[in-house]
Structures are given as C-alpha cells and as structure tokens.
Amino acid sequence: MNAKNITLRPGRPADAVKIAAMSRDLIETGLGWSWGPDRVARSIANKDTSTLLACERERVVAFAIMYFGDEHAHLNLLAVRPSHQRLGIGKHMVGWLVESAYAAGIATIHLELRASNYTARSFYRSLGFTESAYIPGYYRGREMALRMVRVLRRPGMPLPAWSSPKLPKS
C-alpha cells in the first residue's frame, strides 16, 4: 500500500453512510452506534464543522470530523482503515486540520478517546497533543475517556495584528 495514491477531499452529503459505517466499525465498536448516517450528514452540512476524507480512487480509507468554535476546536472523530494505518494518512489529515485551525485563529484543539487505546494516545502525543483529563463513564457509562488537548495559542490572547498589503504606487 502506498500513501502517494491517497487524496484528501471534503466530505459530501453522499459520504454520510460510508463515514457512519466506518465510525461504527472502527471507533464505536462495542459501544453502540451514536454517529449514524443522520448525525454524520448534519455534521457535513454544518458550516462550523470540517469533514475531511482520505480516498484511494473512490474508496474512503480514512475520515476526520472536526468542529470549529470561536477559540476552540473539537476533533469529534478520526478513523483510518486498518489496511491503511501506519502510512502517515492520519498524521497528514490531523496536520491539515491543525493548519486550518491555526489559520482560523483557534486557540486549542480538544479530543476524547478511549483511555485504554494506548496506540491512539501515542499517536496523538506524537502530534503535539497532551493528556488533560480522565472522564469516567464517558462512553455509554461503561468506559473511561481520556481528553487530550493541543494548544495553538493561549485562549483569550489577541490574534496578531494584520493589515492588507500596500499596493505599489503607479
């Protein structure tokens, strides 16, 4: 498998069923299904949410859904098919989302994952996220979550001043 054949694109309403099935099978295993097609479709339609897909030709091999608030973003979901893991696809997708958040003036990006998912914990730490809190019973009252955060700037700090470039005098 070669990551060079992978393209990133925004999610479209027609992708909701595929994304929801991947969430059910790769993220929500054993927990029930909370990110069904309707919820995914609402996220895709939400102007404050970015849905990013990694595709090999027409096949969706990974996806991410991230909500952008005024100062904080929340990475709701990220999944890469097992056949495409460890190729840098997830890292590339998170990098794209972090750059988008930085450009949007976001101060922090938050996410939750199963506290028992040591592979994901290591992955996010390698991308600059730090562990910030444990949340008992977060997943259907049965499983503990770990909240992680990546700080892009201190919340409440003003954004750097920006002025438009001056046009040369003719």
Q: What is the pLDDT of residue 170?
A: 54
pLDDT band (50, 70, 90) for residue 119:
very high
Whole-Å CA distances, 99 to 36, 73, 109? 28, 12, 11
What is the CATH topology of the domain spanning 3-151?
A: Aminopeptidase (3.40.630)
pLDDT of residue 33: 83
Could you tell me the two tokens for 127? Answer: 């991308």
Per-residue pLDDT at 131 exceeds 60: yes
Task: Name the average pLDDT for the chain.
Answer: 90
| Tokens 């809190």, residue located | 133
Chain segment 50-98, per-residue pLDDT in tens? 999 999 988 999 999 999 999 999 999 999 999 999 999 999 999 999 9
Quote the pLDDT of residue 29.
87
Task: Summarize the confidence of residues 15-19 as an average pLDDT.
Answer: 97
pLDDT at 47: 96
d(CA 22, CA 27): 7
pTM for this model (two decimals) = 0.87
Indicate which residues carry an active-site annotation.
112, 124
For the segment 22-36, the average pLDDT, to the nearest whole number, is 90
